[in-house]
Amino acid sequence: MYLKDIKLTNFRNYEEQVLAFDEGFNFLVGNNAQGKTNLVEAIYMLSAGRSFRTFMDSELVRWGSGTLYIKGTIAADEGEKAIEIAMRGNNKKIKVNGVLLEKRGDLFGKFISVIFSPEELKLVKEGPSYRRKFMDQGITQVKPSYYYLLINYKKVLFQRNSLLREWLSGKADADVLTVWDRQLAGYGARMVYERYRFVRTLSALSKLVHSRITNGEEDLEIKYQSCVDIKEDMDPEEIRQQFVQKLESARARDIKTGVTSFGPHREDLVVLINGTDARKFGSQGQQRTAALSMKLSEIELLKSETGECPVLLLDDVMSELDPSRQQYILGNLTDVQTFITCTHITGIMKKSCPKGKVFHVDSGIITTEEQ
């Protein structure tokens, strides 16, 4: 799929902007603070219904204005679709082909995108929450119902933790804890099942991508560090049973500490380069390249699982990668619509993408030029 055009009204520093995009490479070029990331953010909004930069929707509305509107036309195998996001104050409405969605989650899967920004460059280097978010976002796009699983799991976890904190003051009820445990195991087991399947496919794909990017010098392996002892072809019910047992054996410790010590909220991915933990021992460049391989593999995974090719959003990452990595991106993403922000068009970009479209971003006004 690809984004054909976008219309922005009072979004960030854009007052009124209509743009038609190329099916291949789109370069968003401009100095700092001109609105490049703002445009990427608007595109991302069409796929997630919210920003990747802030949870505060009100920040997205152009200063001095009380309303915001984004409309994008998506071309997909199944035909064209229009996605609209309108905001008045804090009231956000999302429509697909003119039909109002009940919940933001109903938008997932309609316009599939993969974002790669300096945040994602930290995927390998930083703490486990980055890698859990990576799994959860990827799975949600393949299987939108996973989003509700995640929300329910978090709600029950919150309730269970509140109960644990009340325990020491003698107000808590053991039967209630057992009810939360059952619910937590139900949602958690299905999350583990989906994460396991996601990582298994991703690991195989990223091994190939990483080997290509590093000219066969590095072997990349991604291992799912699950909260249960997971085995090939385990079904969700087996995982659930194990989950219940583990919660029971952790109960005394959890009561003492007042937190749930076990579950998908504590899981991680281990990234190995040539058999060594890249988070602990990899160089900055190796960690970034591994993150790049993982994100590029996510595209392949989404493509094979949904039958649609996602759109790639590269914000501020080209300048962070060495010329050979840049060359790889530009040379290998020929069938993926790609948006790239940069301060200037480099020689590599000109050489590798003679057909890309260039957008000059200047204080919230964009002008176009065919490259």
Ligand X SMILES: Nc1ncnc2c1ncn2[C@@H]1O[C@H](COP(=O)(O)OP(=O)(O)OP(=O)(O)O)[C@@H](O)[C@H]1O
**316 and 117 in contact (C-beta within 8 Å)?**
yes
Q: Which does 10 bind (CB under 5 to 8 A by kind): Mg ion, ligand X, none?
A: none
Subset of 32-91 contacting Mg ion (CB under 5 A): 36-37
Q: Which does 13 bind (CB under 5 to 8 A by kind): Mg ion, ligand X, none?
A: ligand X
Note whether 289 binds Mg ion by CB under 5 A.
no
Note whether 13 binds ligand X by CB under 6 A.
yes
**47 and 112 in contact (C-beta within 8 Å)?**
yes
Nearest alpha carbon to residue 326 among 274, 289, 272: 289
Nearest alpha carbon to residue 131 among 199, 190, 197, 188: 199
- The C-alpha atoms of residue 309 and residue 116 are separated, in whole angstroms, by 16
Closer of 43 and 191 to ligand X (Cβ): 43
Closer of 13 and 226 to ligand X (Cβ): 13
Of residues 34, 260, 337, 352, which one binds ligand X by CB under 6 A?
34
Closer of 53 and 143 to ligand X (Cβ): 53
Closer of 61 and 340 to ligand X (Cβ): 61
Subset of 309-348 contacting ligand X (CB under 6 A): 316
- The C-alpha atoms of residue 137 and residue 202 are separated, in whole angstroms, by 13
Strands (E), the chain: 2-11, 14-20, 25-29, 67-76, 79-88, 91-96, 99-100, 113-116, 220-225, 268-273, 276-277, 311-314, 338-342, 357-362, 365-370
To the nearest whole angstrom, how small is the minimum distance from the Cβ of residue 316 to ligand X? 6
To the nearest whole angstrom, how small is the minimum distance from the Cβ of residue 10 to ligand X? 8
**282 and 124 in contact (C-beta within 8 Å)?**
yes
- The C-alpha atoms of residue 259 and residue 160 are separated, in whole angstroms, by 8
Closer of 192 and 342 to ligand X (Cβ): 342
Note whether 206 binds Mg ion by CB under 5 A.
no
Here's the x/- map for ligand X, 255-294, by CB under 6 A: it reads as ----------------------------------------
Helices (H) and strands (E) in the chain, counts: 10, 15
- The C-alpha atoms of residue 87 and residue 350 are separated, in whole angstroms, by 38
To the nearest whole angstrom, how small is the minimum distance from the Cβ of residue 83 to ligand X? 21
Subset of 35-94 contacting ligand X (CB under 6 A): 35-38, 59, 61-63
Close Cβ partners of 154 (under 8 Å, ≥ 6 residues apart): 265
* Residue ranges that bind Mg ion, judged by CB under 5 A: 36-37
Q: Which residues bind ligand X (CB under 6 A)?
A: 12-13, 30, 32-38, 59, 61-63, 316, 361
